[in-house]
Every structure is written in structure tokens, then in C-alpha cells.
Amino acid sequence: MELWFTENHTDNIRFSIKIKQHVYSEKSRYQQIDILDSYELGRILVLDGFIMLTEKDEYIYHEMITHVPMATNPDIKRVLVIGAGDGGTIRELTRFKNIEHIDMVEIDQRVVEVCKEYLPQTACRLDDPRVHIYYEDGLKYVRGKDNEYDLIIVDSTDPFGPGEGLFTKEFYGNCYKALNENGILVNQHESTFYDEYAEIMKRAHSRIKSFFPISLVYQAHIPTYPSGHWLFGFASKRFHPVTDQHAEWWLAQGLKTKYYNQYVHSGCFALPNNVRDVLRETKPAEK
């Protein structure tokens, strides 16, 4: 018997992985949670039918969403992470000694519990004493914060499930408010190759641009995400990721990484024309 997991990347394009075992399945209050074990990609976290991570390539996403902002401002001390129930983003952040405090806001407690049990590769540092986990709506949490964080990372699912509110203008505006004057906002930004995702990415980008003076997009190659080409948003009140890059400082931390390095840091902001063209179509909305 062969067992295959298939994710629809579009209505007409499918991505399939041969599965060794369906390790865990649960319908939580918010979403369908599945853990699969595959022959070539290791364990896989699937939410509502969409791959969130595979053990084989999760490092790309998690390094890129954390090391880029961290190497931009070495003084980052207080970090807010929205989503990130699998723990991968937290794992990377806790490697930085300068971080004093991490608040993590995940709406679905079950994702965290399931990942702790079945995905120790990413969920291994959720018990770090600097990490404080809140199980609530990200928009609700951030709405109550003012001038508190150096960095906010939005490590969300796609905007058509519980993560819907994290792609809205009111969310980005309240993040702006929750950040201090050196604040940086990094978010997972979908991709531009398929039209549906491109539309989401455009909207998200113009909403962020309406609040932040510096608003850029950077890229990474993630084989198991639709099109394999993924984008991140980098928005900031003061620091520019390329001109303010602290390569020496980052090297001095002695962190071993598998994707990120000081060259990728500046290189990932060099976007191909197919992305630049889409970005050019986004207009900054009024604040």
C-alpha cells in the first residue's frame, strides 16, 4: 500500500509526498492538525491541509525570518513573536544572547502541545526561561501594547484560516504602535509566482508600507512551499537591513547556520524582476 499526502498549490497544481506514517491527527478548536512522517522530508506539520514545515527544509524559513532582523540591529532585547506554534522561530531567536525577553502569542495551544510531542527538532526551546507564551488572538494581544518591542516577527499561517487577521491593516498598524522607535517588523509574506498568493502579498505589502517608513521584501528558496520561492516582509521605523547590516557582529556570535550568512543577508534583498514588477503595482495606502 502506498500513502501519499497531496497539497493543492493552486486549483490545477498539486504537490505530493510519499508518506511513511500518519503520526498524529486532531481537529482543534481552530484548525485541523496533522503530523506526517515521510521518506525523504522527515516529519511534516500540516495545518488545515497546508504544509507548515518539513524537518528537512524548515531551517531555511526559520533562519531567514530571524537572523536577518537580528543582524540588522544588535541591540534587540525585547521580541514579540506572533504565531510560531511549531517553535522553530523561537529556537533560532534563543540562540542570540542579547535577547532578554520573548513574548510568543499563538492562538492554538494544541499546535504547541502537538509540536512539543512530535516535532522536538523545532519545539526544543519553547521552555527557555526568556520565552513567555500567550495563547490568544495575535491582533488582540498586540492591540494592547504600546512602544514595547524592538522586534515583532509574524510567523503566521496563510491568510485564510485562523491567521486571517494577521494580514490586515489594523494588525500592521497595531504592530507599529507596539514597536518602539527602533522597531522592526518581519512577517512571512507569501510569494508572487501564483496569482492568488501574489494578490495576498500585494495587499499585505501596501498595508505595511502605509505605516512604516522603511518597507522592503526579501526572498528565500524553500522547496516545500508553493513555487519554492518565498518572500518575507521587512518593515522598520529606523534601520535599513542592508545599510545597517552588522555582519561582523553576527559573525562574532559564532552561530552555525545552514542557509543564512552575511552574504545572503544583503543578497536576499536583491529581488528578481518578476517580484519587483508585482511590488511596483502596490500603492502605499494612506495612514
Partner 1 sequence: MQLDHTRAPLYEAMKEYQLDRVVKFDVPGHKGGRGNKVLRDFLGEACMRNDVNSMKPLDNLCHPVSVIKEAQQYAADAFGAENSIFIVNGATGAVQAMVMSVCKAGDKIILPRNVHRSAINALVVCGAIPVYVNPGVNNDLGIPLGMTPEEVEAAVLANPDAKAVLVNNPTYYGICSDLRKIVEIVHGHGMKVLVDEAHGTHFYFGEGLPPSAMSCGADMASVSVHKTGGSLTQSAILLLGKGIDPNYVRQIINLTQTTSASYLLMVSLDLARQNLALHGREFYAKTVEFADYARKEINAIGGYYAFGEELCDGKAFYAFDKTKLSVHTRAMGLAGIEVYDLLRDEYDIQIEFGDIGNILAIITGGDRALEIERLLGALNLIKKFHGKSPAGLYDHEYIDPILEMSPQAAFYAEQETLPIEKTAGRVCSEFVMCYPPGIPILAPGERITQDILDYIAFAKEKGCSLTGCRDMNVEYLQVVKFSAGNDRR
Report the catalytic residues: 155
Cβ-based nearer residue to partner 1, 128 or 137: 137
H or E element at residue 250: helix 247-252
**Got the DSSP string for 198-212?**
HHHHHHHHHHHHTT-
94-132 b/e (C-beta count within 10 Å ≥ 16 → b): bbbeebeebbbbbbbbbbbebbbebbebbbbbbeeebbe
Q: Whole-number minimum distance, CB 23 to partner 1, in Å?
A: 29
Cβ-based nearer residue to partner 1, 256 or 287: 287
Work out which of 174, 215, 227, 282 binds partner 1, going by CB under 8 A: 174
* Length of the chain, in residues: 287
Q: Whole-number minimum distance, CB 126 to partner 1, in Å?
A: 24
Cβ-based nearer residue to partner 1, 32 or 261: 32
154 close to 164: Cβ distance less than 8 angstroms: no
Window of 81-89, 173-181, 193-201, 250-258 that interacts with partner 1 by CB under 8 A: 173-181
Window of 118-126, 139-147, 191-199, 257-265 that interacts with partner 1 by CB under 8 A: 139-147
The phi, psi pair for 132, rounded to 5°, reads: -120, 120
Binding string, residues 143-172; x marks residues near partner 1 by CB under 8 A: x------------------x-xx--xxxx-
By CB under 8 A, the count of residues binding partner 1 is: 18
- Residue 142 has a CB neighbour count (10 Å cut-off) of 27
Q: Does 139 bind partner 1 (CB under 8 A)?
A: yes
Angle of helix 273-280 relative to helix 195-209, nearest 10 degrees?
60
CA distance 73 to 128: 22
Note the Cα 85 to chain centre separation in Å. Answer: 11
Work out which of 3, 252, 270, 285 binds partner 1, going by CB under 8 A: 285
Q: Does 140 bind partner 1 (CB under 8 A)?
A: yes
Q: Does 286 bind partner 1 (CB under 8 A)?
A: yes
Q: Does 177 bind partner 1 (CB under 8 A)?
A: yes
Cβ-based nearer residue to partner 1, 168 or 266: 168
CA distance 42 to 57: 9
CA distance 76 to 64: 16
Q: Whole-number minimum distance, CB 47 to partner 1, in Å?
A: 16
End-to-end CA distance of the chain: 57
Q: Whole-number minimum distance, CB 177 to partner 1, in Å?
A: 6
Chain positions 59 to 78 lying near partner 1, rule: CB under 8 A, are: none
Q: Does 48 bind partner 1 (CB under 8 A)?
A: no
- The binding site for partner 1 (CB under 8 A) comprises 137, 139-140, 142-143, 162, 164-165, 168-171, 173-174, 177, 285-287
